Amino acid sequence: MSVLLISCATITTEQNDNEQACSSGKVRITTDFSTARMDECLLVDENEYLITLVPENTPINSSPWYAFKIQSDQTTNITITMKVRGDKHRYPPKISINGGAWQLQKHQIKGNRLIMKITASPKPVVIAAQEIINNQYYVDWAKKLKVSGKITHNLLGNSTQGRPIYKIEHRNKEAKEWLVILGRQHPPEVTGALALFSFVETLLSTSKLSQNYLKKYNILVIPNINPDGVHAGNWRHNANGLDLNRDWNQFSQVETSLINNYLQQLVKQGGKIKFAVDFHSTHKDIFYSMPVDYGVEDPYFVRHWLGALDYLMPKFDVVIKPGNNPGLGVSKQYFSDHYGVHAITYEMGDNTDRIKIKRIAFNAANLLMSTMLSNANHNKE
C-alpha cells in the first residue's frame, strides 16, 4: 500500500452544513468536520452501510467527493458500499487512521458501486476521495511560507458565504511585472493543490535563481478561490451552485470579481500582468495553453518553457493542448483577452504519484523563472 505525501489535515470543528450521521449504536459514521460529505447513509444490515453521493446541483462535472469519519467503542469490522446517484466514481478512496498519513484504501468496484472493508475502532478513521486539504491547511501553509520568505498574507475579500479568500504576495519596489498563481476553483482537485504548493515554494525559495527572479517580478498567489466549496465538500461549484472557472467573462460571482478587481487595481497602479498559472486536476497530466497565433506577446513563450520541461524530464510526457474558447469564461482566456499575455491551466492527474507531482512542479517553477528571465534579458538587447 503506497503512502501519500501529506499527513491528515487537522479536522476542524467548523459547523458542516451537510452534516449527516449513520450509527448502528456501536459504530458511528459522521461528517462533523470541514470538507466532509456523505449525502445519504443507511445501515443495511449489522455492520453493513450504504452511502449515496449526490452533487450540490446539476448539471455538473463528474467528480463525486466524499469524506467521512468512522469510530466505534470496540474494534468492529464493517463493510461500506458507496454509490453515486446518476453518476460513477472518480476517486479511489484514501484512508487516514487516527490522524496518520493518507494511504490508498483497498476496495472493489462492482458496476457503479465501490465496496470497502474497514476496521472501526475507538481511534477515528477518515475515508476521503483525496487527501483532505481544507481551508485551514492553506492558512497554515501561508504561515510557514511567511517564516521563510518576505511575503505578505492578507485578506483579498470574502466568499459568497463570508469565508476569507487570501492572497499571498511577494513584491519588489523595482518590479512592475506580475506572475499570477491561482488554485482550487474546483474543490476536489487536490492534486492541483499539491502542485501549487511545490510550485510556489520553489518560486519563493532561497535559490540564486529565485532571488534573481524575485528582483525582477512580483508574485501574486490566490491559492484557495472557492473556500465555500472546499468546506462543503462540493464536487465543483461555489455556494451559489456555479462553476467559477466559467465565470471569468461575466464576473457574476464574488470570488472571481474580487480577483478581477484586484488585478485591474494592480494595472492602474502601473503594474503589468505578465503570466498566469491556474492549478487544476483531471484524469491525466496536461497543460492547457492559448494558441501561438492568438496574438498575445511572446507567442512561443509557453512552448519554450514547457518544451524545456519535457527535455529535462525524459520520463514525463509533457502534453500541451492549445485552445481558444472565447465565450467559455475560463481564467486562461481572461488573462489573454484582458492583458494580452499567455496563461495556462496546469492540470495534474487525479492519480499521479504525489512525489512526481512535486518533482514536476519544482522543475516547472525553476524553468518558468529561467525562461522569463532570459526572455527579459533578450528583450533588453
Q: Where along the sequence are the contacts to Zn ion (CB under 5 A)? A: 186, 189, 280
Cβ-based nearer residue to Zn ion, 231 or 237: 237
Which cell numbers in the block locate residue 286? 496536461
- 360: buried, middle or exposed (CB in 10 Å: 19+, 13-18, 0-12)? buried
- Please report how close the Cβ of residue 174 comes to Zn ion at its closest, in angstroms: 35
Cβ-based nearer residue to Zn ion, 61 or 264: 61
Which cell numbers in the block locate residue 318? 509533457
Which cell numbers in the block locate residue 181? 498563481
- Please report how close the Cβ of residue 189 comes to Zn ion at its closest, in angstroms: 5
Report the residue number whose CB is nearest to Zn ion.
280
**Which amino acid is residue 61, in one-letter code?**
N
Which cell numbers in the block locate residue 14? 467548523
Cβ-based nearer residue to Zn ion, 308 or 330: 330
Cβ-based nearer residue to Zn ion, 348 or 365: 348
- Please report how close the Cβ of residue 128 comes to Zn ion at its closest, in angstroms: 18
Rounded to whole angstroms, the Cα distance separating 66 from 220 reads 31
- Please report how close the Cβ of residue 275 comes to Zn ion at its closest, in angstroms: 19
Are the C-beta atoms of 18 and 31 separated by less than 8 Å?
A: yes
- Please report how close the Cβ of residue 91 comes to Zn ion at its closest, in angstroms: 14
Are the C-beta atoms of 345 and 331 separated by less than 8 Å?
A: yes
- Please report how close the Cβ of residue 74 comes to Zn ion at its closest, in angstroms: 42
Rounded to whole angstroms, the Cα distance separating 178 from 100 reads 38
Cβ-based nearer residue to Zn ion, 26 or 283: 283
Cβ-based nearer residue to Zn ion, 29 or 290: 290
- Please report how close the Cβ of residue 367 comes to Zn ion at its closest, in angstroms: 23
- Please report how close the Cβ of residue 280 comes to Zn ion at its closest, in angstroms: 3
Cβ-based nearer residue to Zn ion, 105 or 281: 281
Rounded to whole angstroms, the Cα distance separating 76 from 26 reads 8
220-255 in b/e form (b: 16+ CB < 10 A) is: bbbbbbbbbbbbbbbbbbbbbebbbbbbbbebebbb
Cα-Cα-Cα-Cα dihedral sign, residues 345, 369, 356, 152? negative
Q: Which of 291, 63, 301, 255 is nearest to 156 (CA)?
A: 255
Cβ-based nearer residue to Zn ion, 149 or 192: 192
Rounded to whole angstroms, the Cα distance separating 141 from 227 reads 15
